[in-house]
Each structure stands twice: as C-alpha cells, then as structure tokens.
C-alpha cells in the first residue's frame, strides 16, 4: 500500500489545483509536487474535522471521503471542458545552455534524492522528539482512532499535523510500522526539490535555478531533517511554498496563486505552535505588498487581502477554536509548566536584556558560520548581498527579504524577552528556527546571481 | 574572442593555483595543530575527513580539535592563502614576465571561491561516508532487527511484553532512577513508545490499570506489589513486568 501513500495526496491536491486552474499555468512536474504538498495538508485538516465531529479515524473515513470530494472537484473542472495541463508559464522559457556545471548539479541533486530515500527507509524512528512526541502521538491516534485522549497526550497543546500524517500513513497501509510511515518525509523532500527548481525557473535562468536548488540540498541540517520525523522540515517546506506562491502571484497577478498561498499559510499554523505566528507574518507581508502596489485599486487590494487571510486564518481558527474551547475545557489542571503554549508566554523586560542580546548575536553568528548546518550557503549569501544593487531588487526578492527580516525580529524578541531564552542557551531550538527560513536563502542567491536577467533569459512579461 | 578565451583561461589558472595553495595550507594547519596537540597527524586527518560533521536533530556540530573546529579551519586557511598567493603571483611574474599579473580583488575572490568549493567537496564526502556507513549497518534487516541493533534491551523488553501480555492495559514504572534526567528520560520515552498499545504508561486510555514495570530497581522481587505476579522478566530482573492476579 506504499503506492497509495504516494498517489492519494497527489490525487487530493491535484483536484484542488485543477479547480484553481493552475494546471493551465504550471507544468506537470511542479503540479505533481504541489499536489503532494497540498494533499498532505488537506489530509491532516480533514482528520482534524473528523476528530472534532467524533468520527473514528480509518482508511475508509479519511481516504474514501476525500476521494469522493476530490472526484467531485475533478468533475467540476472537466465539465468546464477547458484544456488540461497547458503549463503556459513554462512554454516560452528558453531552454538554457547545457554545460559541465549543469550535468554536475543534476547528478548531485539526483544522488541527494536517492540518498534521502534510502536513508529514510533504512533508519527507523529513533530520534528524541519523534519517539517522545510525534510518532508516539501518531501511534495513539492510530490505535485509539480518535481525538478523545488528546488532552491526556504528551504536548497536547502542540498542533497535530505530523502525528496526523504519520497515523494516516499507518491507516492507509493497514498496520503500524515505524519504518514505512517515514516514507512521507523523502516524498516531501522530492516535492520540495521540484517546487524549488520550477519556482526559481520562472524568476531566473536555468543555471541559477539549478544552483539555488543545489545549494539547498548541500545543507547537512536540511538534508538530515528530511530523514527524521521532525516537524521543522515540513514547516520550512510549507513556508517556502507559501512564499513561492505569493511571489508568483506578485509576478503574474493570478488569484489562484494567492489562494494557494493562503492554503499553505493555513497549513503552516497546524504544524508547530509558532506556525500561527508565521501565518500572521505572511499576512503582514501581503499587506505591505498591497500597500506598495501601484497597479491595483483599493477594492482589489482589499479583496486580495481578505482572500488570503480568510483562507489562512480560517484554517488556523479550526484548530485553535477546538483547542481553546474543547480541549482546554476538559483539562482540570493546566499547571504543567513543561507544556509551552502561545498563551503561556511571559514577557520580561529586565536588566538581563543586553546580556541576552549579546548571547543571541553570538549564537546566531556561530550557528551561521561555524557549524556544519548550512554548508557554505550563508557565507555565499552575504558575499552576494555585497554585490546586490538596489535596482536589481525585484518585488519577489523584496517579499523574501521582508520575511527573513520579520522572522529575525520576532525570534530576537521571543528569545530575549520571554522564557524561551532557555532554548537559545541550550542550543535546542536555534538551528531549527533558522531552518524555517533557510530555503529562502538559496532562492535569493539564485535571484541575485541571475541579476535581473530573468526577463531577458526567459522573455517573460509581467 | 581570443581575449575572452585568454581571460577565461587566466581565471581558471588563478582558481587552480589558489585551490592548490589552500589545500596545502589546510594540511599544514592540521599538521601544526596535531604537533601542538601531540597527536598523530594521520589520525587528525582521518578525523577531519570522516568526522567533520556530527549529525544531530538540534545542530550539526563540526568536529572539535583542541583549538579549532573543522569549519573555522577554512577561514584561517583562506586568510593565510591570500598573502601566499599574492607572493607566488609576484614571484612567477618576476621569473616569467609573460605570465598574467592578477589584481588583489581577483586573488581574494579566487581564494573565497576555492575555500567554498573545498568546503563543499569535503563536507559532501563526509556526508556520503556517514550515510554509507548507516546504510551498510542497517540495510538488509527487518524493522525488528534494526530496532534491536539500535536500542537493544530497551526495545527487546517491550517486544517480549507485547508477545506475553494480552489485550490493552495501563502501567506505571517502579524505579530507582530519575526519569527527569535527559538520558533516562529518553529511556522512559522509548520504553513507553514500544510498550504502547499493550501497556500505556503515558496516556490514560481507560484500559485496566493492572501493570507495573520495575526498571533498574534494587532488589526488584522485593518490590512487587501484593497481588501481582511476574509476567515478563528480562536481563536478570533488570526489567520486570508484573500484572495483577485475575483472582483478585
């Protein structure tokens, strides 16, 4: 049933992409990649709804119902009798020159993907958080088949995307196997590589897109997290896809990209506690883009903003309302200080603030330049920044820079002003929080290297 | 066209020269460091090549020598390579006047590119070795065999319990160790993960509460509660699972 784990999310996601008519714009590889990403998000949201409605989890209740819904959406699209899978945005792209660098990069990407698949399917679940929380909670959902015991579970305040998707994999294959449920992560990695490349292909030339994708896969931390059952890899995947969709919306002004971005922003809120914060940041970025836009009138700006926020915050609201009105009400004693939650944040303006800032700066610099997390990506990025000219900063680059800036500011405030400073001191969370923005860096490098040549290279018009 | 070709070959020549210089300086730095640390140079080099990345979910740490780590060494090597390349460039120009004279900016750029390239190549080599070793150790084994290899008794004891105990139960640990310490906390999480669903120790799922697990308890047989009997014993009573007698 491994094939079902691969095909079902693609089927669910593809039906949504067809309804959004994104197949007219995107070609088949990125369509399949986006479908998988979308499908996994849809599956976990559907499981949440089933749990709230107290419908037992099973392969039938999850897969059959979603299949019927997806089939209906496909029929709606087919009824319109429009041509399928046109890939219009990629049709006029110039192929680019093939040289030794291209072949080396392609071989490197291929080797990395194969390596990820082999390693993920060789190593069983064995890392701390996976055994203690994600896979353990997934096992509980699999055997108990409901959300009934969520208030008694470890880290009950944490969103459930990863436990849900792992338990879904177990339901689909009919048994709990700590090894085979991990197939989700290498599939996500494969989707990520395709989304990364094909997104950059629309904004840069082929060589730069390959370099950006290659730099992403050169990172040890990024590649390692694609082989373990942690939430951070999925987090950076969805954040990047949301930002990519926003960039494509900014460039091509197609509402379907905005809807896609809204969906992924909503899914981000269901992965980790800070996901809700990211959904707000993404809405803020859209707000800034709309303020700066000179091509839209006020009515269109308002519609665009509400399209995005209603979708993203609507998805976030489902889980948060369930948590605060149902889960929390069923717990008599919530004094467990080990369970962090957004409503447990204690802000502390003390004299230690300057000392904390110093520790933060030192930890950041060490992490970016003296660990082996990121290969040489950050030094390359800062060197490229020195060469960047203001006139070459496109609106898409501005979106990505803005996200990095807001992420840095919010984490600086979070680490220095709240009790979360402990995670910084113990080196537990910093690398993982940087991982959330890391995929943006190779994308920016690719865009800077192509130096605004993408229009000449690709012949694309705004 | 000829000028472009000459320019390209000059750039390639410079990158090649700086790459070779960088490699020699890197090896020299490791050698000097090994001498200061009074360690065999060959072992230093092996550690640098095979262990320069330590994979961990929280951070991929570089291998730490006495005074350097395996990432910072590239920065030091690059710093030394710049003046050496400038001097060798000037010397070559003095001896062979037809050789191209490179500017400082070109040399610094070439050193940066060489350092980055060497770093990427060696790190990817380490990554390949690490993943290759993992694959060799764990491939061609079932999930049961892999878990046994990695976790040993912390997996085998719950596995034995799952074969012995019927139905779903809840259990508690009786132990002398502190499960709040990081190492033992992981053991607790691991045992709980593999015992579930037969015995649920971290979740009240309304199943009968009739199991105790004695783990690293001094004189464990003396601490078995009244009315409970041993159902599963492992490693000379280091692990004991006791269940309430049905008669009661």
Res A452: pLDDT: 57
Which of A118, A371, A383 is closest, CB to CB, to B71? A371
Strands B209-215 and B169-175: parallel
**Residues 6 or more apart in contact with residue A359 via CB below 8 angstroms:** A424, A425
| Residue pair A372/A432 in contact by the 8 Å Cβ criterion | no
Q: B243 pairs with which residues across the strands?
A: B211, B229
Which of A128, A140, A372 is closest, CB to CB, to B61? A372
Which tokens is A94 given? 């110039």
Domain boundaries, chain A: 246-332
Burial A382-421 (b: 16+ CB within 10 A, else e): ebbeeeeeeeeebebbbbbebbeebbeebbeebbbbeebb
- Among A215-219, B124-128, B161-165, which is the least confidently predicted range? B124-128
Residue B245 has, within 13 A of its CA and on its CB side, a CA count of: 8
Class of residue B95 by CB neighbours under 10 A (exposed 0-12, middle 13-18, buried 19+): exposed
Q: What is the Cα Rg of chain A in Å?
A: 22
Which tokens is B239 given? 């692990």
Largest Cα span, chain A:
67
End-to-end CA distance of chain B: 97
Among candidates A395, A84, A358, which has minimal Cα distance to A248? A395
> Which residue, among A167, A372, A433, A435, would best test binding to B if mutated, counting the most B CBs under 10 Å from its CB?
A372
Contact A152/B53, CB-based, under 8 Å? no
Contact B146/A152, CB-based, under 8 Å? no
Residue A286: pLDDT band (50, 70, 90) is very high
Res A455: pLDDT: 44
> Which residue, among A182, A214, A220, would best test binding to B if mutated, counting the most B CBs under 10 Å from its CB?
A220
Which of A351-357's residues contact partners 24+ apart within 8 Å by CB, and which partners?
A353/A416, A353/A417, A356/A415, A356/A416, A356/A421, A357/A412, A357/A416
Higher-scoring residue by pLDDT: B93, B84: B84
Contact A139/B135, CB-based, under 8 Å? no
Which of A341-345's residues contact partners 24+ apart within 8 Å by CB, and which partners?
A341/A157, A341/A273, A342/A273, A342/A276, A342/A277, A345/A418, A345/A419, A345/A420
Class of residue A320 by CB neighbours under 10 A (exposed 0-12, middle 13-18, buried 19+): middle
Contacts of A132 in chain B (CB under 8 A): 186, 189, 193
Nearest-Cα distance to chain A for B138, in Å, is 6
CA torsion, points B58, B61, B66, B72, in degrees to nearest 10? -130
Res A310: pLDDT: 95
SS3 per residue for A99-140: CHHHHHHHHHHHHHHHHHHHHHCCCCCCCHHHHHHHHHHHHH
**Residues 6 or more apart in contact with residue A413 via CB below 8 angstroms:** none
The single residue listed with the structure tokens 């959406």 is A73
Residue A462: pLDDT band (50, 70, 90) is very low
CA nearest to B147 within chain A: A124
Which tokens is A459 given? 């012949």
Q: Is the pLDDT of residue B208 over 80?
A: yes
Q: Is the pLDDT of residue A166 over 90?
A: yes
Selected residues 58-87 of chain A with any CB under 8 Å from a CB in chain B: none
Which of A108, A123, A153 is closest, CB to CB, to B134? A123
Higher-scoring residue by pLDDT: A186, B183: A186
- Report which listed range, A144-153, A335-344, B34-43, is most confident: A144-153
Which of A108, A135, A427 is closest, CB to CB, to B193? A135
Higher-scoring residue by pLDDT: A327, A314: A314
- Among A108-122, A144-158, A320-334, B115-129, which is the least confidently predicted range? A320-334
Contacts of A228 in chain B (CB under 8 A): 57
Contacts of B15 in chain A (CB under 8 A): none
CA nearest to B123 within chain A: A375
d(CA A369, CA A339): 32
Contacts of B205 in chain A (CB under 8 A): 140, 144, 149, 152
Q: Is the pLDDT of residue A338 over 50?
A: no
Class of residue A354 by CB neighbours under 10 A (exposed 0-12, middle 13-18, buried 19+): exposed
Selected residues 365-384 of chain A with any CB under 8 Å from a CB in chain B: 367, 369-373, 375-376, 379-380, 383
| pLDDT, tens only, A51-96 | 999 999 999 999 999 999 999 998 888 887 666 666 777 766 666 6
Which of A119, A376, A427 is closest, CB to CB, to B131? A119
Res A456: pLDDT: 43
Res B248: pLDDT: 41
């Amino acid at each position: 049933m491994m094939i079902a784990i691969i095909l079902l999310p693609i089927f669910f996601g593809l039906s949504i992409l067809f309804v959004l008519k994104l197949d007219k714009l995107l070609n088949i590889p990125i369509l399949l990649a986006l479908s998988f990403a979308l499908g996994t998000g849809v599956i976990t949201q559907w499981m949440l709804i089933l749990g709230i409605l107290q419908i037992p989890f099973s392969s039938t209740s999850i897969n059959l119902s979603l299949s019927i819904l997806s089939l209906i959406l496909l029929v709606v699209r087919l009824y319109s009798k429009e041509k399928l899978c046109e890939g219009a945005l990629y049709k006029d792209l110039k192929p680019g020159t093939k040289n030794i660098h291209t072949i080396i990069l392609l071989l490197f990407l291929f080797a990395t993907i194969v390596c990820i698949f082999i390693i993920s399917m060789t190593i069983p679940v064995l890392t701390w958080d996976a055994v203690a929380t994600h896979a353990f909670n997934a096992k509980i959902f699999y055997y108990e088949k409901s959300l009934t015991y969520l208030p008694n579970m470890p880290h009950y305040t944490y969103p459930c995307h990863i436990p849900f998707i792992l338990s879904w994999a177990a339901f689909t294959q009919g048994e709990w196997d700590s090894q085979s449920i991990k197939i989700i992560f290498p599939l996500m990695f494969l989707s990520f590589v395709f989304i990364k490349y094909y997104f950059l292909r629309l904004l840069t030339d082929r060589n730069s897109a390959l370099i950006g994708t290659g730099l992403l896969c050169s990172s040890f931390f990024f590649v390692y997290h694609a082989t373990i059952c942690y939430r951070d890899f999925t987090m950076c995947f969805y954040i990047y896809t949301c930002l990519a969709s926003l960039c494509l919306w900014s460039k091509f002004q197609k509402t379907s990209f905005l809807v896609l971005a809204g969906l992924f922003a909503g899914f981000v809120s269901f992965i980790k506690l800070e996901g809700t914060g990211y959904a707000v940041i993404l809405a803020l970025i859209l707000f800034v883009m709309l303020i700066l836009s000179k091509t839209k009138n006020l009515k269109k700006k308002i519609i665009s903003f509400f399209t995005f926020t209603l979708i993203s915050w609507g998805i976030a609201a489902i889980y948060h309302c369930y948590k605060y009105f149902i889960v929390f009400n069923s717990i008599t004693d919530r004094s467990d200080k080990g369970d962090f939650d957004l409503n447990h944040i204690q802000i502390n303006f003390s004299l230690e603030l300057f000392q904390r800032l110093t520790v933060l700066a030192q930890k950041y610099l060490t992490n970016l330049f003296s660990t082996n997390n990121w290969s040489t990506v950050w030094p390359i990025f800062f060197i490229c920044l020195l060469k960047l000219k203001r006139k070459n900063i496109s609106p898409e680059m501005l979106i990505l820079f803005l996200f990095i800036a807001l992420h840095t500011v919010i984490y600086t405030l979070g680490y220095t002003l709240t009790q979360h400073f402990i995670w910084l001191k113990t080196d537990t969370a910093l690398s993982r929080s940087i991982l959330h923005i890391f995929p943006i860096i190779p994308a920016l490098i690719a865009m800077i290297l192509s130096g605004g040549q993408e229009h000449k290279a690709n012949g694309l018009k705004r | 066209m000829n000028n472009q070709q000459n320019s390209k070959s000059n750039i390639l020549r410079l990158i090649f020269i700086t790459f070779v210089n960088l490699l020699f300086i890197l090896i020299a730095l490791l050698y000097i460091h090994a001498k200061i640390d009074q360690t065999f140079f060959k072992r230093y080099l092996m550690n640098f090549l095979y262990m320069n990345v330590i994979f961990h979910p929280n951070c991929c740490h570089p291998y730490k020598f006495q005074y350097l780590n395996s990432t910072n060494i590239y920065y030091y090597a690059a710093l030394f390579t710049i003046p050496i390349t400038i001097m060798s460039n000037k010397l070559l120009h003095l001896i062979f006047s037809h050789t191209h004279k490179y500017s400082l900016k070109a040399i610094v750029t070439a050193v940066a590119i060489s350092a980055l390239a060497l770093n990427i190549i060696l790190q990817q080599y380490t990554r390949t070795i690490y993943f290759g070793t993992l694959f060799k150790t764990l491939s061609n084994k079932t999930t049961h065999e892999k878990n046994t290899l990695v976790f040993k008794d912390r997996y085998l004891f719950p596995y034995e319990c799952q074969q012995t105990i019927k139905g779903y139960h809840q259990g508690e640990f009786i132990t002398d160790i502190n499960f709040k310490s990081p190492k033992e906390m992981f053991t607790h999480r691991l045992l709980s993960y593999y015992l579930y669903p037969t015995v649920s120790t971290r979740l009240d799922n309304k199943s009968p509460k009739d199991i105790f697990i004695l783990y690293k308890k001094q004189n464990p047989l003396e601490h078995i509660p009244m009315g409970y009997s041993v159902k599963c014993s492992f490693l000379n009573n280091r692990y004991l699972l006791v269940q309430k007698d049905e008669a009661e």
